[in-house]
């Protein structure tokens, strides 16, 4: 029996995908694995029995990935599971920025008691006039699951789309409409686009990526969209750009004291993935990732360890070793397993950055002292007996 703890409320339909080997616990310290949406985990101390964290969503800036990796805790995310929900809000954001829909809705509310509203609206409406999306140029920075969907949808709306992603995957490239122009230099995209939207993870290398110089090189009247994370834009420069008339609108899903309620800003409270479908998809994917890890030691969609799968164990036993990615570790643990009289029947080792993961199937009886000896290897953070 495994216990899971939810740090945020998550879709119950999604959680129902846990099989009968799993029980929910309200006590974080009692959890073998944790599910999280937006709760900040940087100040949380995990119990040594916790071996996995799954984020129901794509961004993982609320989780201390390296610290957890050193504790032998694998962190998962759910790439693509909420992409459609975010894509639809990006399209809505472009429409809200192009036409004063919110102003018009508010006008109708404010004039609800006017018996001549039907007549007066014909005079009032000119103040809410806007522009159309068709024929405009959209620059998409980041063509992962969300960026590619936004780019394709914009093509269907008649926009001319320019995509920039130096790390695009082969799969993402295949999924892109042939009508999308591939940009290898963001400077060209900045200079051309009427709308710019970013769909990149928050990393040290992407923090403040849309900086003052980038904004200065954009077209006058550009509309900027932010459905990634607020600090990807230099928002002080964005606010200056609005004041100077350079930026027509800044549409952000991450309001903060600098941007909320300000002229030229359209802000929603992190609603990108807030749909029944996205919440359910994310939770289902997170639950499946956790179950495969807890029961088989298989890793799919980890953000701090390499992906590594070996199916279901058909030997006497399986052990997972989470370790520093350096030379000599495999020799050390295989020698301990051999000395303990165990015959390795299958194994795999994968490394990613500083961290590596080994799955070892064996025949014979694994004793507690052998596990202790494995954990005694300096480079090994955790030895987890799977079977």
Judged by the rule CB under 6 A, the positions of this chain that interact with ligand MLT are 37-38, 57-59, 82, 270, 272-273
8-state DSSP, 305: S
Measured from the CB atom, the residue of 287 and 356 that comes closer to ligand MLT is: 287
Contact between 160 and 138 (Cβ < 8 Å):
yes
Distance CA 197, CA 138 (A): 8
Question: Minimum CB separation from ligand MLT for residue 60, in Å?
Answer: 8
Between the CA of residue 127 and those of 101, 124, 131, 246, 263, what are the distances in Å? 11, 6, 13, 21, 16
Q: How many residues does the chain have?
A: 387
Tokens at 156, concatenated: 């269907």
Task: Name 357's bridge partners.
Answer: 322, 350
Measured from the CB atom, the residue of 14 and 57 that comes closer to ligand MLT is: 57
Measured from the CB atom, the residue of 35 and 215 that comes closer to ligand MLT is: 35
Question: Minimum CB separation from ligand MLT for residue 251, in Å?
Answer: 16
Distance CA 176, CA 242 (A): 32
Measured from the CB atom, the residue of 204 and 378 that comes closer to ligand MLT is: 204
| SS3 label, residue 70 | helix
Measured from the CB atom, the residue of 139 and 201 that comes closer to ligand MLT is: 201
Question: Minimum CB separation from ligand MLT for residue 331, in Å?
Answer: 40
Contacts 24+ apart (CB under 8 A), 306-313: 306/350, 306/351, 306/352, 306/355, 306/356, 306/357, 307/350, 308/348, 308/349, 308/350, 308/357, 308/359, 310/346, 310/348, 310/359, 310/361, 313/361, 313/386, 313/387
Distance CA 239, CA 151 (A): 26
Question: Minimum CB separation from ligand MLT for residue 40, in Å?
Answer: 13
Measured from the CB atom, the residue of 83 and 210 that comes closer to ligand MLT is: 83
Return phi, psi of residue 117, to 5°: -55, -40
Measured from the CB atom, the residue of 35 and 337 that comes closer to ligand MLT is: 35
Calculated CA dihedral for residues 73, 276, 86, 203, nearest 10 degrees = -20
Measured from the CB atom, the residue of 270 and 382 that comes closer to ligand MLT is: 270
Measured from the CB atom, the residue of 82 and 98 that comes closer to ligand MLT is: 82
Helix (H) or strand (E) holding 373: helix 368-375
Between the CA of residue 13 and those of 3, 278, 352, what are the distances in Å? 18, 12, 33
Contacts 24+ apart (CB under 8 A), 330-335: 330/358, 332/377, 332/379, 333/358, 333/360, 333/374, 333/377, 333/380, 334/360
Helix (H) or strand (E) holding 88: helix 83-98
Question: Minimum CB separation from ligand MLT for residue 42, in Å?
Answer: 16
Question: Minimum CB separation from ligand MLT for residue 274, in Å?
Answer: 6
Measured from the CB atom, the residue of 59 and 130 that comes closer to ligand MLT is: 59
Question: Minimum CB separation from ligand MLT for residue 44, in Å?
Answer: 17
Question: Minimum CB separation from ligand MLT for residue 129, in Å?
Answer: 33
Question: Minimum CB separation from ligand MLT for residue 38, in Å?
Answer: 5
- Chain centroid to Cα 192, Å, comes to 28
Question: Minimum CB separation from ligand MLT for residue 82, in Å?
Answer: 5
Distance CA 17, CA 111 (A): 49
């Amino acid at each position: 029996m495994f216990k899971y703890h939810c740090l945020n409320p998550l879709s119950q339909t999604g959680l129902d995908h846990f099989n009968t080997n799993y029980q929910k616990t309200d006590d974080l310290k009692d959890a073998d694995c944790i599910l999280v949406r937006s709760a900040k985990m940087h100040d949380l101390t995990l119990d040594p029995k916790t071996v996995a964290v799954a984020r129901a969503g794509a961004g993982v800036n609320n989780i201390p990935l390296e610290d957890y990796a050193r504790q032998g805790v694998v962190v998962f995310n759910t790439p693509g599971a909420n992409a459609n929900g975010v894509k639809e809000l990006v399209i809505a954001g472009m429409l809200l920025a192009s036409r004063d829909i919110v102003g018009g809705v508010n006008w109708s509310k404010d004039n609800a008691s006017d018996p001549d509203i039907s007549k007066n609206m014909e005079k009032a409406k000119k103040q809410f006039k806007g522009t159309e999306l068709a024929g405009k140029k959209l620059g998409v920075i980041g063509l992962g699951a969300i960026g590619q969907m936004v780019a394709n949808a914009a093509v269907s709306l008649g926009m001319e789309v320019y995509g920039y992603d130096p790390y695009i995957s082969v799969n993402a490239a295949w999924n892109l409409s042939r009508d999308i122009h591939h940009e290898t230099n963001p400077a060209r995209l900045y200079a051309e686009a009427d709308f710019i939207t970013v769909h990149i993870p928050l990393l040290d290398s992407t923090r403040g990526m849309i900086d003052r110089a980038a904004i200065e090189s954009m077209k006058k009247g550009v509309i900027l969209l932010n459905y990634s994370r607020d600090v990807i834009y230099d928002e002080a420069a964005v606010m200056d750009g609005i004041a100077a008339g350079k930026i027509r609108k800044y549409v952000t899903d991450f309001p903060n004291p600098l941007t909320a309620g300000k002229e030229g800003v359209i802000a929603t409270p992190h609603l990108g993935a807030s749909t029944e479908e996205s919440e359910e998809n994310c939770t289902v994917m997170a639950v499946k990732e956790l179950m495969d890890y807890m029961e088989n030691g298989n890793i799919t969609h980890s953000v701090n360890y390499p992906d590594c799968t070996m199916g279901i164990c058909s030997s006497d036993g399986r052990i997972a070793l989470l370790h520093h990615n350096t030379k000599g570790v495999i020799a050390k643990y295989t020698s301990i397993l051999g000395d303990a009289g165990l015959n390795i029947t299958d194994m795999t080792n994968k490394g990613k950055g500083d961290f590596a993961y080994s799955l070892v199937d064996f025949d014979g009886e694994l004793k507690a002292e052998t596990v202790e000896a494995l954990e005694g290897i300096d480079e090994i953070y955790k030895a987890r007996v799977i079977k």
